[in-house]
A and B are shown apart, each in its own frame.
Chain A
Amino acid sequence: NAGVMQNPRHLVRRRGQEARLRCSPMKGHSHVYWYRQLPEEGLKFMVYLQKENIIDESGMPKERFSAEFPKEGPSILRIQQVVRGDSAAYFCASSPELRSLQPQHFGDGTRLSIL
């Protein structure tokens, strides 16, 4: 399966801990997007990255959240000192290039639960 791979699928953390979510884009895709989904809601854009560059992080909280997409390896969404409100499903999507007619391909998400 050459789709977008996210891991872990489920992650449980206690308040104050750190959460690391990983995303491997589809083969040949150099653009990665992270979205957050609360129960019964649509996805909300968080950040858009290309290799080694953050292009747009306007949807990501300024504190505790960071994202990277290194030259080698998966994209990482990192949440420090997690709080109950961080509980959500986090989805990663990728596309081969920046064109508005290219659909984004989504992974199955990481469901983050904060105790």
Chain B
Amino acid sequence: SQQGEEDPQALSIQEGENATMNCSYKTSINNLQWYRQNSGRGLVHLILIRSNEREKHSGRLRVTLDTSKKSSSLLITASRAADTASYFCATSVMDSSYKLIFGSGTRLLVRP
């Protein structure tokens, strides 16, 4: 079964609105990462949050991590049409930190 599960599976918003995506996981982690994938392309690393961190910012991105609930959220503020993509969370677990375990992703559509 998946380590990470994103919610919602699909999200459609208007340009300028905020987009929030959630990720839940099952086992203890070293860190959690968020990636973006444009259609037909590879994954682009967005942000990494360590297991001992609670919140991290990068530009218009804000990631939170709640290890007690085994969940994370990605907030994209002031969305743009160019943010349209699939977003995946990936966890790095304790005993095999090199192995990223991906969720099934959230497909974000930002309407101009």
Q: How far is the CB of A40 from chain B (nearest CB, A)?
A: 7
B96: A residues at CB distance < 8 A: 56
Q: CA separation between A100 and B94, bound complex, in Å?
A: 9
Contact check, A106 vs B44: say whether CB atoms are below 8 A apart.
yes
Query: Which segment of A41-49, A62-70, A75-83 sits at the interface?
Result: A41-49
Query: Which segment of B13-21, B62-70, B97-105 sits at the interface?
Result: B97-105
Select which of A41, A100, A103 is within 8 A of B30 by beta carbon: A100
B3-40 residues with Cβ-Cβ distance < 8 A to A are 4, 30-31, 33, 35, 40
B58 touches A (CB below 8 Å):
no
- The number of chain B residues with a CB under 8 A from chain A is 27
A81-115 residues with Cβ-Cβ distance < 8 A to B are 91, 93, 95, 98-101, 103-109
Given contacts A33-B98, A100-B97, contact A42 B45 (CB under 8 A): no
- The number of chain A residues with a CB under 8 A from chain B is 29
Contact check, B104 vs A41: say whether CB atoms are below 8 A apart.
yes
Contact check, A42 vs B33: say whether CB atoms are below 8 A apart.
no
Q: Main SS of the interface on chain B?
A: strand
Q: CA separation between A31 and B99, bound complex, in Å?
A: 12
Contact check, A104 vs B45: say whether CB atoms are below 8 A apart.
yes
B53-112 residues with Cβ-Cβ distance < 8 A to A are 88, 90, 92, 96-105
B98: A residues at CB distance < 8 A: 31, 33, 48, 55-56, 95, 98, 100
A4 touches B (CB below 8 Å):
yes
Q: How far is the CB of B14 from chain A (nearest CB, A)?
A: 24
B residues bordering A, Cβ < 8 Å? 2, 4, 30-31, 33, 35, 40-45, 48, 50, 88, 90, 92, 96-105
Which are the 10 A-B pairs with shortest beta-carbon distances? A42-B102, A100-B97, A106-B42, A103-B45, A100-B30, A106-B43, A108-B42, A43-B102, A42-B104, A45-B99
